Structure 1
Amino acid sequence: MNWDDLRLFLAVAREGSISGGARKLGVQHSTVSRRMQTLETKLGVRLIERKKSGYELTPAGESLKIAACRMEHEVLEVDGFLGGRDNRLIGELRVSAISSMASGILMPMFAKFSRNNPDVDLHVLVSNKNISLVERDADVAIRLTNTPSDALIGTQLATVSSTIYASHRYLDQLRSEGGKPKWLGVSCCAFHQSWTKKSAAGQRHNFFVDDALLTTAALKQHMGLAYLPCFIGDSEPELARYCAPDPQMNLGLWLLFHPDLKRTARVLAFRDHMIHEVKLQTALLTGKRPEQLHT
């Protein structure tokens, strides 16, 4: 049995649809659909069924998923054992980071690493979800969290502060007219969701965003208040702080990778590079810049 076919099947099984599996693998929907049909023909059984709620694995599909996961584990162990001994600054390096950081503050750091290490093929992957380092969806993940996984090797690069932001115009209007501030509905991450729920005190939202960059754009349209990391909010001249950052809302910026890669030269070089570069941005990340605060 072709391992590539099983890898494709696992992607579909984990994502719950052919389109989801295609996105995960970076291939065409038609390619995944055709190869799934070919695999089912080879095995002589149906592996997935389409229901009203989406795709579901058949009993045969569930059995194959268990077997394929075992095979994947063995393949990754061999890959990690061999790759973990690579002491050359050459090869592919896949780095996952959340969109608001990857496209802004981190991109100059990524570009500098790439220029300094031209033999490393750097792939920057953007995801606001926790992508699996165990399944090797990426080699390195840069994440905002206060609870990094014990199963991974982690280095805290910095502390990131957040606070409430709005446009200057909205804050002026709020001061002159009074009344309760209007909050954006946000779902970019669990942190912003819970902070907003607590601060908005049950207020009904009629405008929702699911990304920090979208939140920034909405605030610039005078849509109300929302939480943002200080490195984003303080960099926008159209926005101002509604209050000072609360240390209870500080998050750790972590660089994480799988233990199998602890001796891989390109991973270690990237880690050391990021430690140095992020340290230069400490003031921006912690919000320690002079600002006119609005209360």
Structure 2
Amino acid sequence: MDWEDLRFFLVLSRCGSLSAAARALDVDHATVGRRIAALEASLGLRLIDRLPRSRPLTEDGAAIAAAAERMEALAEEVLRRSRGASLTLSGAVRVSLPPVLATLCVAPRIETLRRLHPQLKLVLLASASFAALDRGEADIAIRMSRPEEPDAVARRVGAMRFRLYASRDSAARPAEEWAFVGFDESLGHLAQQLWLRKIAGGRKIVFEANDLFAQQAAARAGAGAAALPTFMGDEDDALVSLPIEPEPPKRDLWLIAYPDLRRSPAVRAVMDFLADCIHAEPRLRP
């Protein structure tokens, strides 16, 4: 059996169709089809039903896919352990974190890390979505929620507090005339967005973005009031804080890594640096 054929099959089992699997693997769908056919031939089993628009798994295919999931998890564990053992105080360490922390908290202090460890390179993966630590997409993560990965180790290093901010012109209007700026539907589950919709009530949310900097710019332009982190909004002279009850929620900040990687001197150094960055900002302290 070719192990690469099994990897293609595992992706197909998750995606459900040749075209979706091909996009995920960055190959053409014919290549996926050939790989699956080769795996079926080597195992002597039919793994998928070939329907016009989908490729559902057969009973044997579902069993093989479940076994392949476990094999993939073990392979990722091997890679994490080898990466943790091979990293010294040099090379690149990848950190997944919210864009606002990357831009306003970590990047401005990067020279401190460079002076301490000149051979170490920090790679910031700034995104509102989570990088999968268990799949090796990042070495460390800072998140505003506890880790979903069962074996990851996390410690609370700070808290992000929010307030409602608006331009002076917007703030001067009667409260019943306020408009609001918030996240789009992709991030509608966030605690601060749920709070914003609740306090907006029947008033309009006139602008949505999946990025806090875009929301800040819209608030500065007078579009409406935005729920921004205090260490972001308090520093903006074009914005004022609006008194509102109940207060916006506080989000804990968690520093997360896998035990295998935490043994690496490079990962430990970066984790200490990230914790120091957060502690250096008074409005992010727990």
Q: Same fold (TM over 0.5)?
A: yes
1:140 aligns with 2:140: yes
Structure 2: distance between partners of 1:276 and 1:226: 28
Match in the other structure for 1:222? 222
**Contact 1:158–1:252, Cα closer than 8 Å, also in 2:** yes
* TM-aligned CA distance change 1:32 to 1:225, over 3 Å: farther
Structure 1: distance between partners of 2:277 and 2:164: 27
Match in the other structure for 1:43? 39
**Contact 1:93–1:123, Cα closer than 8 Å, also in 2:** yes
The percentage of counterpart residues that share the same residue type is 26
Structure 1: distance between partners of 2:281 and 2:266: 23
RMSD of the TM alignment (CA)? 3.4
The 5 Å alignment of 1:185-264 reads 185-187=182-184, 188=187, 190-243=190-243, 249-264=249-264
Larger radius of gyration: 2
**Contact 1:163–1:245, Cα closer than 8 Å, also in 2:** no
Q: 59-68 or 152-161: which moved more? A: 59-68
Match in the other structure for 1:184? 181
Structure 1: distance between partners of 2:50 and 2:126: 29
**Contact 2:92–2:123, Cα closer than 8 Å, also in 1:** yes
Q: Provide structure 1 residue ranges, at least 5 long, that are not aligned to the other structure.
A: 23-28, 288-295
Structure 2: distance between partners of 1:75 and 1:213: 38
Match in the other structure for 2:119? 119
1:128 deviates by 1.3
**Contact 1:164–1:243, Cα closer than 8 Å, also in 2:** yes
**Contact 2:5–2:39, Cα closer than 8 Å, also in 1:** no
1:21 aligns with 2:34: no
Match in the other structure for 1:276? 276
Q: Provide structure 2 residue ranges, at least 5 long, that are not aligned to the other structure.
A: 41-46
In structure 1, give the amino acid aligned to 2:280: L
Structure 2: distance between partners of 1:48 and 1:257: 41
Structure 2: distance between partners of 1:191 and 1:50: 42
Structure 1: distance between partners of 2:112 and 2:2: 39
* TM-aligned CA distance change 1:206 to 1:88, over 3 Å: closer
Match in the other structure for 1:59? 57
Match in the other structure for 1:88? 88
**Contact 1:184–1:226, Cα closer than 8 Å, also in 2:** yes
Q: Deviations over 1:229-251 (max 9, x none)?
A: 11221232222111279776111
**Contact 1:87–1:263, Cα closer than 8 Å, also in 2:** no
**Contact 1:21–1:32, Cα closer than 8 Å, also in 2:** no
